[in-house]
Amino acid sequence: MFAREAPLKILVVEDEPSLRDGLADLLTAHGHVVETAADGESALTRGADPSIDLLLLDLMLPRLNGVEVCRRLRELRPDLPVLMLTARGAEDDKVRGLEAGADDYVTKPFGTRELLARVEALARRVERAAAAPVRTLEIDGVAIDLGRCRAVRAGETVELTLRETHLLRCLYQRRARAVSRAELLQEVWEAPGDLQTRTVDMTVANLRQKIERDPAAPRIIVTVKGVGYAWGDA
């Protein structure tokens, strides 16, 4: 673990008691402060508390499903990191979770080292975002506020996730060249560059829906065939 001035306060949302208690014990043993919720409505209420630093959210919940919880909390707290728990092989669930605003996901059953690594990666991203100077990027008629995780076009504001703002910052900082999917995985997701996943492409597709004038003909996040993506010159 990396050093921090205060432990993370993590809300664990899981309806299976044994898994919920196990996750709480694991995270507590690694220095975090943990609260728990067993259903979507409780998660929505507790997740709105600004003292919660990170949300560990199961998709399949009673009373209100995880996708809807994520979507509503993203409106209330656009900067809240969300790590979603999905079922093995449930590609649609992963896509729905990312589209709802989840920053990352881990597939059940998962190893404790993987889960802790993803939690720490999100925590590091939050700390970097807090320390980074506020920067507003303007391109193709949209103003992107990286500090407040939002974009504004024609007076309409769209909330962005931490992951999305980090991806945009990464592309902008490397705007003189194309950025490979492997490099984005390493920089934005802090994952191995050779990991076989469509996470980068799914996140870019969702981000284009939010910020591009015409997502089918993007001018902000441009595809570089055979390489990856690049910051547009619109």
Which pLDDT value is given to residue 147? 83
Cβ neighbourhood burial of 13 (10 Å; 0-12, 13-18, 19+): buried
Structural domain 136-231, CATH architecture: Orthogonal Bundle (1.10)
CATH node for 9-131: 3.40.50.2300
Report the range of poorest mean pLDDT among 128-137, 162-171, 179-188.
128-137
Measure CA of the first residue to CA of the last residue in the chain; give whole Å.
41
Which pLDDT value is given to residue 75? 81
Instruction: Round to whole Å and give the CA distance between 25 and 5.
Output: 21
Helix (H) or strand (E) holding 142: strand 142-145
Instruction: Round to whole Å and give the CA distance between 129 and 189.
Output: 14
Neighbours of 39 (CB within 10 A): 16
Question: What's the whole-number mean pLDDT along residues 68-82?
Answer: 87
- Side-chain-side CA neighbours of residue 156 (13 Å): 8
Neighbours of 31 (CB within 10 A): 11
Question: What's the whole-number mean pLDDT along residues 62-76?
Answer: 90
Place 88 in a pLDDT band, splitting at 50, 70 and 90.
low
pLDDT of 2 above 70: no
Give the global pTM. Answer: 0.62
- Side-chain-side CA neighbours of residue 208 (13 Å): 20
Question: What's the whole-number mean pLDDT along residues 56-69?
Answer: 92
Report the range of poorest mean pLDDT among 5-9, 100-104, 140-144, 158-162.
5-9
Neighbours of 228 (CB within 10 A): 19
- Residue limits of CATH 1.10.10.10 in the chain: 136-231
Which pLDDT value is given to residue 80? 87
- Residue limits of CATH 3.40.50.2300 in the chain: 9-131
Place 130 in a pLDDT band, splitting at 50, 70 and 90.
low
Helix (H) or strand (E) holding 138: strand 136-139
Amino acid letter, residue 224: V
